[in-house]
């Protein structure tokens, strides 16, 4: 038996839930004006179907989302570990705009540059998030970095500029990502901006929630992701305008003084010698070691000089990422003693050798002297040159889907010492 008070409360809850589900999305929406079409906008949701969306790390849609009266809606059955859906297409630079409405106390989010890999169990360890949350009714106390409009656990908005419509009403948000410059907008007001991959950005990444997520936020492109975090949430008018990539930027990856811009993985030795060379040298553990750029580089033209002292078994990884511990996943341009395919391309998992150099080109390597390696990576094509001679020209669709860091390697076994200098990259 329930009391009248309890009966009223339960009845109001049921009515509220039904109202949110059935009447939250009645107005016809999800249309682009001719001006928007001419300006390059297109819809990510057609208002009728879930076409173009699928499970994170999946090929079909099974997660708890549905279409309700012109809205794409989270049913509220998701959790921290599940309930994420993503676009079929990846996006790099863009303006992304959407309308959203949350249930009472609701929690959701819009993520971008999400990378899909079996080892990444959830999207937020790679993709930044524009936080969506009903602060006033959320049942737990929130940290500032968890509140509405934040770049989750990274940057905070200017609260004085935030004009939020009451819970149960529609709000509009927008993310602008333009070659590293990021803006968050709320109901027509810019509330936040920052520079991704700046020194300040890396400092925040390495000292907070993402300190143990080495690949967080590094991708320059990825899928868009919606989050069902255990609360019903509705979205409409999800539209995106792609912005051009700014190529032709030349970057000195090694400053000749220290390891700024690089991350060390493993216990092997990486240091700058008195002649301003970058040195990799086996340590007492005689294990694999890596020195990886802190940023991702996907399409580029890279040149680097190297000199092998002692055993020169090393390599240059492209579009690679660091898994737990000291395990690298990606593709290696070989740097090795003579007759061991310097300039060839090796996959660190699965297929192993993808392209070995012809035997007659083994003499191009100058042992004990400085050599010049050039690597050009664009789309699904990789070309390598050693001392001005082409070694490999490989087209591979799997490499074409890759994204990640550039990394130098120390091979296991001990006794290895290689010098590097003049590491320069031009973006394509």
Q: 202 and 288, same structural domain?
A: no
Q: 232 and 193, same structural domain?
A: yes
Inform me whether the pLDDT recorded for 27 exceeds 80: no
Inform me whether the pLDDT recorded for 355 exceeds 80: yes
Inform me whether the pLDDT recorded for 225 exceeds 70: yes
Is the CA virtual torsion 162, 110, 206, 153 positive or negative?
positive
Flag whether 12 is in a domain. no
- Arithmetic mean of pLDDT, 86-92: 98
Count structural domains, the chain: 2
Flag whether 13 is in a domain. no
Number of Cβ within 10 Å of residue 27's Cβ equals 10
Q: 268 and 375, same structural domain?
A: yes
Instruction: Supply the pLDDT for residue 311.
Output: 84
Is the CA virtual torsion 389, 395, 401, 402 positive or negative?
negative
Greater model confidence, 310 or 164: 164
Q: 387 and 278, same structural domain?
A: yes
For residue 74, the cross-strand partners are 65, 233
Burial of 332 (0-12, 13-18, 19+ CB in 10 A): buried
Over the stretch 272-331, which tens digit does the pLDDT of each residue have? 999 999 999 999 999 999 999 999 999 999 999 999 998 888 999 999 998 877 889 999
What predicted TM-score, i.e. pTM, was given to this entire model?
A: 0.90
Instruction: Supply the pLDDT for residue 14.
Output: 40
Instruction: Supply the pLDDT for residue 349.
Output: 84
Q: Tell me, what CATH number does 404's domain have? A: 2.60.120.560
Asked if 423 contacts 304 with a C-beta cutoff of 8 angstroms, the reply is: yes
String of DSSP letters for 56-101: TT-SS--SSEEEETTEEEE-S---SSS-EEEEEEEESSEEEEEEEE
Q: 197 and 115, same structural domain?
A: yes
Instruction: Supply the pLDDT for residue 28.
Output: 62
- Arithmetic mean of pLDDT, 28-49: 95
**Cα(253)–Cα(395) distance, integer angstroms:** 26
Q: 215 and 346, same structural domain?
A: no
Q: 226 and 257, same structural domain?
A: no
Flag whether 317 is in a domain. yes
Domain region containing 72? 24-242
Q: 277 and 172, same structural domain?
A: no
Q: What percent of the chain has pLDDT over 70?
A: 93
Confidence label for 17 from pLDDT (cuts 50, 70 and 90): very low
Greater model confidence, 38 or 28: 38
Q: 77 and 177, same structural domain?
A: yes
Inform me whether the pLDDT recorded for 8 exceeds 80: no
Instruction: Supply the pLDDT for residue 366.
Output: 97
Over the stretch 174-208, which tens digit does the pLDDT of each residue have? 999 999 999 999 999 999 999 999 999 999 999 99
Instruction: Supply the pLDDT for residue 410.
Output: 93
Average pLDDT, the chain: 92
Instruction: Supply the pLDDT for residue 58.
Output: 96
Segments of 92-206 assigned E as strands: 94-102, 107-114, 129-133, 171-178, 181-186, 189-195
Q: 296 and 350, same structural domain?
A: yes
Flag whether 9 is in a domain. no
Report CA dihedral (173, 177, 180, 184) to the nearest 10 degrees. -10
Flag whether 282 is in a domain. yes
- Arithmetic mean of pLDDT, 85-90: 98
Q: 349 and 307, same structural domain?
A: yes
Flag whether 14 is in a domain. no
Q: 315 and 216, same structural domain?
A: no
Instruction: Supply the pLDDT for residue 25.
Output: 54
Q: Where among 242, 269, 299 does a domain terminate?
A: 242
- Arithmetic mean of pLDDT, 324-352: 93
**Cα(150)–Cα(158) distance, integer angstroms:** 9
Confidence label for 4 from pLDDT (cuts 50, 70 and 90): very low
Name which of 290, 329, 333, 286 is nearest 310 in CA terms. 286
């Amino acid at each position: 038996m329930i009391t009248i008070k309890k009966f009223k409360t339960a009845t109001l809850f049921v009515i509220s839930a039904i109202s949110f589900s059935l009447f939250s999305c009645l107005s016809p929406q999800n249309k682009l004006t001719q001006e928007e079409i001419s300006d390059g906008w297109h819809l990510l949701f057609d208002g009728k179907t879930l076409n173009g969306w699928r499970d994170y790390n999946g090929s079909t849609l099974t997660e708890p989302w549905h279409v309700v009266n012109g809205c794409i809606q989270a049913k509220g059955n998701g959790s921290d570990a599940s309930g994420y859906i993503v676009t079929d297409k990846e996006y790099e630079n863009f303006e992304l705009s959407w309308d959203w409405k949350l249930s009472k106390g609701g929690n959701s989010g819009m993520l971008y540059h999400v990378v899909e890999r079996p080892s990444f169990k959830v999207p937020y360890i790679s993709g930044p998030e524009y936080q969506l949350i009903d602060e006033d009714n959320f049942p737990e106390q929130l940290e500032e970095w968890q509140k509405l409009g934040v770049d989750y656990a990274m940057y905070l908005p200017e609260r004085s500029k935030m004009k939020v419509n009451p819970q149960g009403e529609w709000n509009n948000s927008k993310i602008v990502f333009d070659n590293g410059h990021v803006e968050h907008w709320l109901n027509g007001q810019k509330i936040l901006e920052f520079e991704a991959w700046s020194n300040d950005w890396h400092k925040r990444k390495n000292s907070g929630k993402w300190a143990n997520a080495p690949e967080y936020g590094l991708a320059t492109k990825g899928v868009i992701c919606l989050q069902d975090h255990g609360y019903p949430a509705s979205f409409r008018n999800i539209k995106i305008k792609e912005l051009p990539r700014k190529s032709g930027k030349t970057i000195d990856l090694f400053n000749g003084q220290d390891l700024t811009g690089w991350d060390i993985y493993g216990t092997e030795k990486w240091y700058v010698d008195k002649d301003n060379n970058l040195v990799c040298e086996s340590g007492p553990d005689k294990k694999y070691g890596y020195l990886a750029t802190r940023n991702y580089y996907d399409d580029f033209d890279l040149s680097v000089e190297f000199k092998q002292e002692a055993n020169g078994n090393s390599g240059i990884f492209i579009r690679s990422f660091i898994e737990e511990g000291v395990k690298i996943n990606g593709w290696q341009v070989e740097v090795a003693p003579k007759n061991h395919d310097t300039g060839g391309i090796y996959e660190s998992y699965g297929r192993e050798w993808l392209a070995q150099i012809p035997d007659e080109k083994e003499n191009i390597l100058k042992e004990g002297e400085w050599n010049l390696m050039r690597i050009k990576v664009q789309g699904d094509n990789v070309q390598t040159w050693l001392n001005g001679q082409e070694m490999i020209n490989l087209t591979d669709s799997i490499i074409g889907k890759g994204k990640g860091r550039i990394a130098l390697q120390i091979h296991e076994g001990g006794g290895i010492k290689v010098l590097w200098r003049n590491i320069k990259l031009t973006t394509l």
